[in-house]
Amino acid sequence: MVDTRTRDSVLQVRDEAARRGIRAFFTLHREKSHLLRLGNNSVSLNTSEDLTRLDVEVLDGRRQSTCTRLGDLSTPDPVRLALERAVAQAAVAMPREYEPIEPVVERDIAEQPQYDAELEALDPATKVKTYERIMAAVGRGYNYSGSWSSGATELLLAGTASPAVAWHLGTDQHLTCVLKHPEERWELAVEQTGWRAGQVGAAQAIERFRGLVPVYAQPGWQVPPGEYAVAFGPQAIAELLALAVWTGFTGRGYEEKLGWTAGRRLGERILSERLTLVDDPAQEQTFRFGFDGTGMVRRRFPLVEAGKLAGLAYDLATAARYGRSPTPHAGSWSLAMAPGDGPPEVAAAVRDRERVLCIPALHYMNVPQRAKGIFTGSSRFSAVLLEYGAPARPLFSTRITDTFAKVFGNIETLAPTTVSVNLSNTYGRRQPEAASVPAYMVCSGVCVTDCADSF
């Protein structure tokens, strides 16, 4: 995607900086993004963005700065301006108390492990037809909404610390569809992710909606506060894991006693022995990046092995300050939670239990006490009460407030298969991220602290 002129401009200015003795690191990010949004059974937005960004980081002794430019970068002049701005900022900065670690592109890499030109050029009409098919098959009496994001991301990393250049090109997509009953106001949802055209489509949504609509004909249940067995779905598992990792598995949080793993030792049992979690850039169900944002080559990185704390992620600044080795975690992670040995279907896993809350996704999670690992969030789409494994009644909006250690410590059953869950956001630049997680996870003693009287 990046035209030769833009690439050459960056590399030319990199070489100029090296000749001048400037320690600089360049990250070129190009995205071609498309998103079609559905609301009230209509396309509410159909949008395309073609954006090129450049980050220039400069180290001047212990002084550091960055300058980011989003604009036309096809000639060397705007690249030079970004470099000069970063140089000027660094010159004024106060030196850090510790010696910074310079980002280095470890070796030449040119990769496109998950790139599909067909997806990059996907006709919006394909997306329109998919949503039309879902509505026609499930019934037009409901209110449908959703979004389908697709696009291509290209990264080019080069620094003055090495002549190597790292290049990545990939595609990704994320389809969501929400079905809402216009009067009863309950909501069902499906979510699919992938990197190839044709990986997502209408069939899964149609099957899922058809299966759940009859359950939602039953009255909703306002769950009384208390402890319950909960069968979490893949979205809920992935979101819980992402939040648990962010609050517990970064070197900064660990060293500064901010996170819930602070004070625990590597090798110490912190979660259920059923839980094994790695950052695995080779995992096909995640979006694969062979290098991170600082040029380090990514490798399989265990975080939890059979419940034992196995690894912590150190960014360059934290590693420098606390005398650790940095790990390749700047940018997207590839969280992969190992499956278990439960039956393929959640219904079979809980068929001997009188009541289990089935919560596929958690809405608006947050962490009231990071150091204790307390999280809170509420059920949303497609949540149902399972009685002896059979869907009995839909759940009203149910709040869970508990700790990561307890929920991931009380895993009873894990699905034998894994599912890809998209964890990307698009607040800034396109940054695809997905996790591979078991299709379900049954945990005991999960705290429900509140429940609305509506969905």
Partner 1 sequence: MSTDAELDGAVARGIDSVMDAGAQYCDVRYYGEDASEALLLHDGNLEENAAELESGLGVRVLHGGAWGFAATSRTEDAPRTFELALANARSAAALVAVPLDMGRQAPVIGSYRSPVAQDPLDVPLGEKLDFLRQIDARLQAPFVQHRTVSLQLQRMTSRFWNSEGSRIDRQLTNCFAELAVMGLDRDQLMQRRSKDLHTSGRGTRGWEMVLDPALWSGRAEPVVEELGQLLQAPVVEHRRRSVILLPGQAFLQVHETIGHPLELDRILGYELSYAGGSFVTLESFGRLRYGSQKLTVSAFGGIANSPGSFGYDDEGTPERDYLLIDRGLLVNCLSSRAMVHEANQRAGRPLFSASGGASRATAFYRAPIDRMTNVNVLPGTDGALADIVGATADGLLLDNPTSWSIGSNREHFHFGCEIAWEIRDGRVVGVRRNPTYQGHTLEFYRSLSAVGNATTWTVQQVPNCGKGEPNQIMEVGHGVPVLRFDGVLTGERS
Residue list 396-435, contact with partner 1 (CB under 8 A): 397, 399, 401, 425-427
Q: In terms of Cα–Cα distance, which of 254, 373, 366, 237 is closest to 310?
A: 254
Smallest separation (angstroms) from partner 1 to the CB of 416: 30
Question: Cα separation of 358 and 389, whole Å?
Answer: 10
CB closer to partner 1 out of 360 and 438:
360
Smallest separation (angstroms) from partner 1 to the CB of 71: 4
Smallest separation (angstroms) from partner 1 to the CB of 135: 9
Answer yes or no whether residue 76 interacts with partner 1 by CB under 8 A.
no
Interface with partner 1 (CB under 8 A), residue from 65, 150, 418, 422: 65
For the segment 193-252, give every residue that binds partner 1 (CB under 8 A).
none
In this structure, what token pair is assigned to residue 83?
Answer: 């470099």
CB closer to partner 1 out of 122 and 414:
122
Q: How many CB atoms lie within 10 A of CB 193?
A: 25
Answer yes or no whether residue 67 interacts with partner 1 by CB under 8 A.
yes
Residue 56 bridge partners (DSSP): 26, 67
* Segment interacting with partner 1, rule: CB under 8 A, options 20-28, 114-122, 172-180, 285-293: 172-180
In this structure, what token pair is assigned to residue 80?
Answer: 């030079």
Smallest separation (angstroms) from partner 1 to the CB of 160: 18
Answer yes or no whether residue 392 interacts with partner 1 by CB under 8 A.
no
Interface with partner 1 (CB under 8 A), residue from 38, 303, 304, 435: 38
The one-letter amino acid code at 192 reads: Q
Question: Cα separation of 301 and 304, whole Å?
Answer: 9
355 alpha-carbon distance from chain centroid:
31
Question: Cα separation of 399 and 406, whole Å?
Answer: 16
Answer yes or no whether residue 365 interacts with partner 1 by CB under 8 A.
yes
For the segment 241-300, give every residue that binds partner 1 (CB under 8 A).
256-258, 262-263
Q: How would you label 165-186 residue by residue, b for 16+ Cβ within 10 Å and e otherwise? A: bbbbbbbbbbbbbbbbbeeeeb
* Segment interacting with partner 1, rule: CB under 8 A, options 93-101, 238-246, 269-277, 408-416: 93-101
For the segment 94-153, give every residue that binds partner 1 (CB under 8 A).
94, 96-98, 123-125, 128, 131-132, 143, 145-147, 149
For the segment 434-453, give every residue that binds partner 1 (CB under 8 A).
447, 449-450, 452
Question: Cα separation of 444 and 426, whole Å?
Answer: 34
Q: In terms of Cα–Cα distance, which of 219, 114, 125 is closest to 170?
A: 114
- 4-19 and 76-92 helices cross at what angle (nearest 10)? 40
Question: Cα separation of 378 and 220, whole Å?
Answer: 15
Pair 416, 340: CB distance under 8 Å: yes
Smallest separation (angstroms) from partner 1 to the CB of 339: 28
Interface with partner 1 (CB under 8 A), residue from 10, 24, 157, 177: 177
Question: Cα separation of 156 and 166, whole Å?
Answer: 6
Pair 256, 134: CB distance under 8 Å: no
Question: Cα separation of 89 and 300, whole Å?
Answer: 36
* Segment interacting with partner 1, rule: CB under 8 A, options 10-18, 185-193, 283-291, 410-418: 185-193
* Segment interacting with partner 1, rule: CB under 8 A, options 36-44, 110-118, 268-276, 341-349: 36-44
Answer yes or no whether residue 47 interacts with partner 1 by CB under 8 A.
yes
CB closer to partner 1 out of 136 and 348:
136
φ/ψ (deg, to 5) at 210: -60, -35
CB closer to partner 1 out of 125 and 341:
125
